[in-house]
Amino acid sequence: MKRMRFTILMTLNLLAGCCDVPAFAGAQEAGTPSIDERFKRADRNGDGVLTPDEVPNAELFKRMDRNGDRKVTLEEARAAFSTTGAAAQRKGTPSGSAPPTAQMQSTLNVSYAQPQGSGPNLTSLDVHASQGTTGCPVMVFVHGGAWRAGDKAGAAGAKAAFFTSVGWVFVSINYRLLPAAPVATQAQDVANAVAWVAGNITEYGGDPREIYLMGHSAGAHLVSLVATDDRRLKETGGNLSLIKGVVELDTAALDIPKLMKTGRAFYEPMFGADPKGWADISPMNHVAKGKAIPPFLLVVADKNQMKLEQAQSFARALREAGARAEILEAPDKTHGTLNGDLGKLGDAPTKAIMDFLNSIQPAQKPAATAVGT
């Protein structure tokens, strides 16, 4: 059911010709293109049919190609579109999805904690959701910036519009930064944000039973730590079962003690000089059997051998502890473009990440309905 819902919504986005952030949030623009106009935009060579290279998602193409001739005609596209649209109108919005014409609504600078001596923006989050839906899975995104910089708004990029367009609630968080807040404190901030999401996300259409984490660079380290060190969430009254999956985007900081053997000059300003402190903030050191560690997807960009070796060792440790772990190499992406391109049409890592997320989501759950229906 989850994969089917994602496929249908990706079909609508593809036919809408969503190539950038404004187009991806096309429901906010005046008017909705007809199916003929959408088909024309997707038909890049103008030959009147859609082929697999124009619809790279194989499952998506199969659903549209009803006669199996490896070509999707306008009539087939019309039939597929009208069928999904009619079903949504008759039965309400499927669980975890948004109506094709739903607008993305953003609620900004929501406080998830109020620690003393900290500006309110550093412990705040932005919630992006499609209007009029409930029961959506939730992606909590943690920005990078070498643990001393970065912001939730700039780091969200195309991801907010993408995730809401395929039936998710997208939450982008801030956390306190170096030098005022050590890395251990930052990890606790992330855990506090997750706990806030678990307690409040239903108000924004999200399902607190389906919270997933994604982080880039320093944020990838922090989400990996929070999803393995159960002390962080226990401080909030929660536990690791709150997190249903983790997407780690390109970090070398998974085994901190090992990293410090070769990169101490660079990382000591962030991690300090105490080996005990390194162990405390090392995700690898907290992997153990008997914990409810969620599935991990570890994404490595630009053929970086150090990051790949860290990912491989971490994945091996996770598997030995009984957790699922997969590695996705993205050699054509840089550290920056991996994050910046995520959510854009045709982006290969985006598709692979969604395949992973669909594979770990619950197969079925009670259907959600649009508000007011």
CATH number of the domain within which 210 lies? 3.40.50.1820
Q: What percent of the chain has pLDDT over 90?
A: 65
- This prediction has a pTM of 0.73
Pairing of strands 243-249, 296-301: parallel
Same domain assignment for residues 150 and 184? yes
Is residue 260 in a domain? yes
Same domain assignment for residues 116 and 264? yes
Same domain assignment for residues 231 and 142? yes
Same domain assignment for residues 230 and 338? yes
**Residue for token digits 């993408």?**
162
Q: Quick one: pLDDT at residue 116?
A: 81
Number of domains comprising the chain: 2
Out of 91, 117, 143, a domain closes at: 91
Length of the chain as a residue count: 373
Model confidence over 125-152: pLDDT tens digits? 999 999 888 999 999 999 999 999 999 9
Same domain assignment for residues 61 and 172? no
Is residue 368 in a domain? no
Same domain assignment for residues 108 and 84? no
Contact yes or no for 10/166 (Cβ under 8 A): yes
Is residue 365 in a domain? no
Out of 36, 64, 91, a domain closes at: 91
* Strands of the sheet with 206-216, listed across from one edge: 104-111, 124-130, 169-173, 136-142, 206-216, 243-249, 296-301, 325-330
For the domain that residue 15 is a member of, what is the CATH number? 1.10.238
Residues of the chain with pLDDT under 50: 1-33, 81-101, 364, 366-373
Same domain assignment for residues 307 and 225? yes
Please, what is the average pLDDT of the chain? 82
Distances (CA, A) of 15 to 11, 37, 80: 6, 8, 11
Same domain assignment for residues 50 and 111? no
Is residue 14 in a domain? yes
Model confidence over 29-83: pLDDT tens digits? 333 445 666 677 777 788 888 888 777 666 666 666 656 678 877 766 655 543 3
Is residue 372 in a domain? no
Same domain assignment for residues 162 and 114? yes
Same domain assignment for residues 213 and 109? yes
Same domain assignment for residues 288 and 156? yes
Phi, psi of 31 (to 5 degrees): 80, 155
Same domain assignment for residues 332 and 278? yes
Is residue 373 in a domain? no
Is residue 366 in a domain? no
Q: Which domain holds residue 136?
A: 104-360
Is residue 339 in a domain? yes
Out of 31, 59, 91, a domain closes at: 91
Alpha helices by DSSP H, the chain: 2-15, 21-24, 35-42, 58-64, 74-91, 152-156, 159-165, 183-200, 218-226, 230-234, 256-271, 275-280, 305-320, 335-340, 348-360
